[in-house]
Amino acid sequence: MRLFGKRPVIERLKTNPKSIKTVFLQDGLDHRAIRKLITRKDVVYKKLAFKNFKNLSKNFHAQGVFADVEEFKYTDFDDLLKLAKNEDITLFFLDGITDPQNFGSMLRTGGCFGKFAFVIPKHRSVEVNETVLRIASGAENYIFVSKVTNLNQSIIRARNCGFTIAGAVAEGDVQILGNDKISFPLAVVIGSEGKGLSHSVSQKIDLFIKIPMQGGRISFNAAVALAIFCYEINKQKEELCRTTRI
């Protein structure tokens, strides 16, 4: 597996240098800052001529830097449930998300906001691949992702552990995000664009929530919807903390 671009490689060097096999630098460019970090973390690097670098980097906009790294390590779901409950982490279950760029954006958003983790099914779903890592821009180092065999059963297990299961929908006579208080610990299910939540998953939902829209009756991109949920969830957590302190 490869990481492409300065930010993904720098974040990996900072957080998990042991997972890096080799960093490749395009010759002729100023890499003093990243070479200093490479040396400090004792990571192997190689310089490549422009032509060789271009061929090996698959013509991605790599900014003169890419790295061979270990395969992404998913978090065991049992461990994730315990961690999420103990550290007030909100879970996002992804139901039918197949676009790696969407998933990469979701990871980046979750990593920026903090206290979020992702659960994806093994089948008919996106996984953490090179495209996801490129779009995530290093967020995979700050967030947990679990891959499960059965999404429905995993949602049930989260509910049995005390999580409120919320389903994100585009329309309907349902709770509007921001209008009512959210119960924590929380797990939010995000469906695919177009199809939304699958029927089997919908039957496991405690409450359905939609994002208020004043414009055209079109649905948000899944990654954008997740970002709005992250903002509102963190906002309500902060309000809850202030109320508790008072």
Q: What is the CATH number of the domain that holds 37?
A: 3.30.1330.30
If asked whether residues 52 and 89 sit together in one domain, one would say: no
Of 90, 74, 226, 73, give the one whose Cα is nearest residue 149.
Answer: 74
If asked whether residues 65 and 88 sit together in one domain, one would say: no
State how far the Cα of 133 lies from the Cα of 37, in Å rounded to an integer. Answer: 20
CB 102 within 8 A of CB 129: no
Residue 116: the pLDDT is 97
Q: How do strand 90-95 and strand 45-48 relate by DSSP bridges?
A: unpaired
Domain termination site, one of 12, 47, 69: 69
If asked whether residues 153 and 42 sit together in one domain, one would say: no
Domain termination site, one of 44, 69, 94: 69
Residue 239: the pLDDT is 85
pLDDT tens for the chain, 246 residues long, are 999 999 999 999 999 999 999 999 999 999 999 999 999 999 999 999 999 999 998 767 889 999 999 999 999 999 999 999 999 999 999 999 999 999 999 999 999 999 999 999 999 899 999 999 999 999 999 999 999 999 999 999 999 999 999 999 877 767 888 888 888 999 999 998 778 899 999 999 999 998 887 765 667 889 999 999 999 999 999 888 877 665
Amino acid symbol at 227: A
Residue 175: the pLDDT is 82
If asked whether residues 25 and 124 sit together in one domain, one would say: no
Domain termination site, one of 69, 101, 118: 69
Residue 127: the pLDDT is 95
Q: How do strand 2-4 and strand 65-69 relate by DSSP bridges?
A: antiparallel
DSSP assignment of the chain: -EEESHHHHHHHHHH-GGGEEEEEEETTS--HHHHHHHHHTT--EEEE-HHHHHHHTTT---TTEEEEEPPP-PPPHHHHHHHHHHHTPEEEEEES---HHHHHHHHHHHHHH-SEEEEEESSSS----HHHHHHHTTGGGSSEEEEES-HHHHHHHHHHTT-EEEEEESSSSSEETTTSPPPSSEEEEEEBTTTBS-HHHHTT-SEEEE----S-S-PPPHHHHHHHHHHHHHHHHHHHHHHHH-
If asked whether residues 57 and 128 sit together in one domain, one would say: no
Phi, psi angle pair for 197, to nearest 5°: -75, 140
If asked whether residues 64 and 84 sit together in one domain, one would say: no
169: domain range? Answer: 77-245
Residue 194: the pLDDT is 75
If asked whether residues 86 and 38 sit together in one domain, one would say: no
> What is the tally of structural domains in the chain?
2
If asked whether residues 60 and 85 sit together in one domain, one would say: no
If asked whether residues 107 and 65 sit together in one domain, one would say: no
CB 2 within 8 A of CB 69: yes
If asked whether residues 137 and 229 sit together in one domain, one would say: yes
Angle between helices 222-245 and 100-113 (to 10 degrees): 20
Residue 246: the pLDDT is 52
If asked whether residues 64 and 100 sit together in one domain, one would say: no
Token pair 């061979």 in the structure block, residue: 68
Give this prediction's pTM. 0.92
Residue 140: the pLDDT is 96
Q: Which residues contact 151 (CB under 8 A, 6 or more apart)?
A: 93, 95, 119, 120, 121, 201
Q: What is the CATH number of the domain that holds 126?
A: 3.40.1280.10
If asked whether residues 237 and 194 sit together in one domain, one would say: yes
Distance of CA 165 to the CA centre of its chain: 18
User: Would you state the structure tokens that stand for residue 221, as one six-digit string?
Assistant: 């991109």
